[in-house]
Amino acid sequence: MKNCEYQQIDPQALPTPTPTPPPHHGNDTEKKKEPRRPRRKWEVFPGKNRFYCDGRIIVARQSGVLPLTLGLILVTSGLFFIFDCPFLVKHLTSCIPVIGGVLFVFVLITLLQTSFTDPGILPRATPDEAADIEKQIDNTGNTSYRPAASHQGVLINQQVVKLKYCFTCKMFRPPRTSHCSLCDNCVERFDHHCPWVGNCVGKRNYRFFYTFIVSLSFLTAFIFGCVTTHLALIWSILGLSGFHTYLVASNLTTNEDVSTQSCFYDSVC
């Protein structure tokens, strides 16, 4: 046994307990307890998501390559605005940075909306609801029974549609709903889990995802066209400088060279 050291305390040195006054039942001093804020569904139900701003922003626990996506867009657009735009504004038009800036801002907004918007997560069943549903599935009364495929037929638009039971969310999934293994949630009208945006793509954020990829395509084509134009103008300037280098080396002027070439072709003809 381990040795324990005890400290001897003088009973007279202990503080004398003071009696607590009886509670006053007057209406003036009675304080009402403030009602507790009801917990929201995202605070109660499990899942592999993180919430910010009182549940207004939702992100997947595995953000995927979202930082890489943002980095590629920022670096590519930044190089374009720094090196290509001044040259094109000087030689073509000042509308180029305006168009590029509008497309760039639109791409960033739609990307963040896709990444931080609820894709259509369906709340899980409560323990009582789950127990009742699984008892209906298992006719033997064994709640631990997990059949391979449990379905429930419902009538939608005069057609019988089979709803599959999700043993993780404890509910029958609506049509076009699937369970995302990365987020561990059932997503309504589930399209796919996109690692480039770091979130599922479903019913509530598919429009943002579509506008993101379309606007990104326009931005990419716009930058590619501007860069190609820039390179073409550079090559024309390089060709012009090379031509005048030839004239200097030949001790000729442009007019003399043109006249010489015209006389040569006339003699040949």
- Measured N-to-C along each axis, helices 95-116 and 66-79 cross at an angle, to the nearest 10 degrees, of 170
What is the DSSP annotation of 221-249? HHHHHHHHHHHHHHHHHHHHHHHHHHHHH
Q: Which pLDDT score is estimated for 98? A: 92
Q: Would 208 be classed as within a structural domain?
A: yes
The single-letter code of the amino acid at 247 is: L
Q: Give the count of alpha carbons within 13 A of 229, CB side only.
A: 19
How far the first Cα of the chain sits from its last, in Å, is: 121
Distances (CA, A) of 191 to 120, 194, 208, 211: 11, 9, 13, 15
Same-domain pairing of 146 and 79: no
- Whether the predicted model's global pTM rises above the 0.75 cut: no
Same-domain pairing of 138 and 224: no
- The residues near 192 (Cβ < 8 Å, ≥ 6 apart) are 200, 201
pLDDT per position as a tens digit, 171-188: 888 888 899 888 888 999
Same-domain pairing of 83 and 196: yes
Q: Would 263 be classed as within a structural domain?
A: no
Q: Would 4 be classed as within a structural domain?
A: no
Same-domain pairing of 157 and 65: no
Q: Would 198 be classed as within a structural domain?
A: yes
Q: Would 106 be classed as within a structural domain?
A: yes
Q: Which pLDDT score is estimated for 123? A: 83
Q: Would 69 be classed as within a structural domain?
A: yes
Same-domain pairing of 221 and 231: yes
Q: Which pLDDT score is estimated for 76? A: 92
Q: Would 13 be classed as within a structural domain?
A: no
Name which of 217, 198, 227, 169 is nearest 41 in CA terms.
169
Same-domain pairing of 51 and 168: no
Distances (CA, A) of 183 to 8, 95, 192, 221, 228: 58, 43, 11, 33, 42
Please identify which of the residues 186, 194, 200, 226 carries the catalytic annotation.
Answer: 194
Q: Which pLDDT score is estimated for 12? A: 43
Same-domain pairing of 115 and 150: no
Paired tokens of 212? 């993101």
Same-domain pairing of 96 and 197: yes
85 catalytic per annotation: no
Q: Which pLDDT score is estimated for 44? A: 64
Name which of 122, 121, 116, 120 is nearest 198 in CA terms.
116
Residue pair 198/66 in contact (Cβ under 8 Å)? The answer is yes
Residue numbers of the domain that contains 158? 124-173
Domain count, the chain: 2
In the chain, which stretches have pLDDT less than 50? Answer: 1-17, 28-31, 140-141, 143-145, 147-149, 268-269
Same-domain pairing of 209 and 115: yes
Q: Would 27 be classed as within a structural domain?
A: no
Same-domain pairing of 190 and 238: yes
Same-domain pairing of 190 and 118: yes
